[in-house]
Structure 1
């Protein structure tokens, strides 16, 4: 077999040296984009021009960045096995786009050969939508180890499309060795971006985290993530979210951790149809931690949630689990009392402390009544939500 290495601007495709190695085929497609076909192709470096990855198997190595003005297109059925010998992740920078559209039967998958949570840094998108960080600042420095400033002025900015994409075993430790990346992270991503039918599977940090922005997401699955299944801050304000499902197993903190970086003046995001299930004998990352409730609001966090189904949140030792936990009096006074925190109708089953929200401070007392008509989220079955023969949606049946 012939061995060849091609470099197109800053996008490098490296050919593995082995008896079974094949020639990389790169052809100019319509519009001058680069077309990449399967083989032993390694995706690394920075993508500076429109690039298309066809259905097939590839390797992702290092911090791969999609630069401003470039679009990374990934066809249904493409699988990227991440090289874990180095710090690896996929980062779409502000002005760049991703066009990753899989199907229920032919998803786009990012995984690792070692199948170990924390193997890599996951997928991060940057946009140009507004944020409110600490002290109301409109820009902030990212927490993903890339030292990128985020925050903009276009609420409808478009970072691309992701449909039927699964990220496995992310959550690489960064910085001081104690912080981790999320499976999927969205920094100031705008409402022009489409996020649908996404799976975060067994990451060591959050399944999905939003840092400000206005993007909405539909049909999300967070399965077996060590920290929180869903998390946001910096006044994220997506208004058209629906069908969020988390299954916490073995290790897991809050089902949802919600804050607004202490900004009272924020637009409450809206989510319809939420299912949070905690499997028996699931423990928080840190022993004796109080991070075992289904939904936590703090630092002026807000949210209008409807049709919420929660099951399996049990006390652990002296720590109590609640359907909803309000962590500070300021959030209760400014947001709960003013109708910017709503979780109703709500069904809370097989769990402790039914009928009352939890309050870590003193200024609480909101009660609720279980609503029998709330049912679990309904999601389309298929390969997109199946890992190693395990149906991630089984608990919804």
Structure 2
């Protein structure tokens, strides 16, 4: 595939502040990288966004198209105002990628969210939103940098725990997350590579993607009021020793196809800082099947490869044995995770209310253990509240928060 680079002469950029539409695009035949401009451009209500930005851009309320892989490079800020809606092209591989040193300021409201969708409305239509930050990671063998698996072949990892990649607030992403090429690479609905604690992630919806709803690759960022609805793989996933400490109100609703509610690992690093989440609700609708038929990936929360987490006020409902495979509230996949994380207090899921589910009262283990953990469901733990109703959590007239109100 031909490399796509930029030069000033080859950049095709048409924009007028006095009109209501614009197109931002690049020429594929260029060979030099253009230095970013310090000017700011504005999209006023309509237009197409594509290519790599070379100057700050403000996108006003309105209806837009997003076409291809849109990149925001170092030193550039993309600002998206409340009520901006994007229809993403499915005629080519499309995604929105915020690179290291860049920022996205996307602040919607409950009634005027920022929405990314497709005309096809089919899971896996596009690549979703990816943020790269400059916070530390621990990759395989403790590496402080790793190569992304999103098809961008970009290294991530840094040394600024408080790095700031911007703000995502009241943003809904629909029908994203997809396999790339031979399937060894993939994107999620929201992907966070080494994103720092200075970044704000609040009131986000990952709706019907074909991979994970939210995945963290290392970093220190925290997130509040997340909704993962109808994603094919795991609703929440992390690796590379993600260590966010101020997470609150995570809600997953698994329907039709879905694997683990949460899949947690630390890329084999025993020395990690356990992330903390207060308020988790995981609901698996009756009849939901794993992505691969007869797969054992039907448990609410799985820990493996030294994955860790301190979770409080957890409610899990509907995790049933399927085709001979057992479902658990919590599954520990390997002995080293038990020894170094569970037994040392870096895995805690308490209080936990496990409702209408199989294998109540016991943790699951994918190996022989002499110390299986048991628990008593705490019926005082209810489904997470704290979400604001509104257009941000409503798709095609369906209130995504409805099951929390029952």
Give the Cα–Cα distance (whole angstroms) in 2 for the partners of residues 76 and 9 of structure 1: 32
Residue in 2 aligned with 1:98? Answer: 104
- For 1:331, what is the secondary structure of its paired residue? helix
Please give the per-residue CA displacement for 1:160-181, whole angstroms capped at 9, x wherever unaligned: 0000000000012213146431
- Aligned partners of 2:328, 2:220: CA distance in 1, in Å? 28
2:400 maps to 392
1:294 to 283, 294, 300: 300
What secondary structure, in the 3-state scheme, does the structure 2 residue paired with 1:334 have? helix
- Could you say what secondary structure the match of 2:358 adopts? coil
* Residue 8 (structure 1) shift: 11
Q: Say whether the 8 Å CA contact 2:20–2:43 is kept in structure 1.
A: no
Candidates 356, 377, 385, aligned match of 2:384: 377
Question: Matched residues in 1 for 2:20 and 2:311: separation?
Answer: 52
Cα distance in 2 for partners of 1:13, 1:228 equals: 41
- Partner of residue 24, structure 1: 21
The equivalent residue for 1:37 is 44
Distance in 2 (CA, whole Å) between partners of 1:8 and 1:81 is 29
> Is 1:11–1:48's contact at 8 Å kept on the other side of the alignment?
no
Superposed, 1:113-192 pairs within 5 Å as 113-177=119-183, 179-192=185-198
Determine the structure 1 residue equivalent to 2:3: none
Q: Tell whether 2:362 aligns with 1:365.
A: no
Distance 1:265 1:382, change over 3 A: same
In the alignment of these two chains, the number of paired residues is 380
What residue is the counterpart of 1:19 in the other structure? none
Write the distance in 2 (CA, Å) between the matches of 1:339 and 1:12: 55
Residue deviations 1:254-304 (CA, integer Å, cap 9, x gap): 000000000000000000000000000000001110000000000000000
State the 4+ residue runs in structure 1 displaced beyond 3 angstroms: 7-15
What's the offset of the Cα at 1:373? 1.0
Report the RMSD for the aligned CA atoms in angstroms. 1.7
* C-alpha distance in structure 1 between counterparts of 2:184 and 2:266, whole Å: 23
**Unaligned regions of 5+ residues in structure 1, if any?**
1-6, 16-21
**1:11 deviation in Å?**
7.5
Alignment of 1:247-286 (within 5 A): 247-286=253-292
Structure 2: give runs of 5+ residues left out of the alignment.
Answer: 1-7, 24-37
* Partner Cα distance (2:128, 2:15) in 1: 21
Secondary structure of the structure 1 residue equivalent to 2:336: helix
Deviation of the 1:9 alpha carbon? 9.0
Which secondary structure does the structure 1 equivalent of 2:49 belong to? Answer: strand
The TM-score normalised by the length of structure 2 is: 0.91
SS in 2 for 1:62: strand
Query: In the aligned structure 2, how far is the partner of 1:59 from the partner of 1:169?
Result: 15
Match of 1:244 among 241, 247, 250: 250
TM-score, scaled relative to structure 1: 0.93
State the distance in 1 between where 2:14 and 2:220 align: 35
CA distance in 2, matches of 1:172, 1:293: 22
- DSSP 3-state at the match of 1:61: strand
1:14, CA displacement in angstroms? 9.1
Residues 141 and 11 of structure 1: is their aligned pair in 2 closer, same or farther, counting only changes over 3 Å? farther
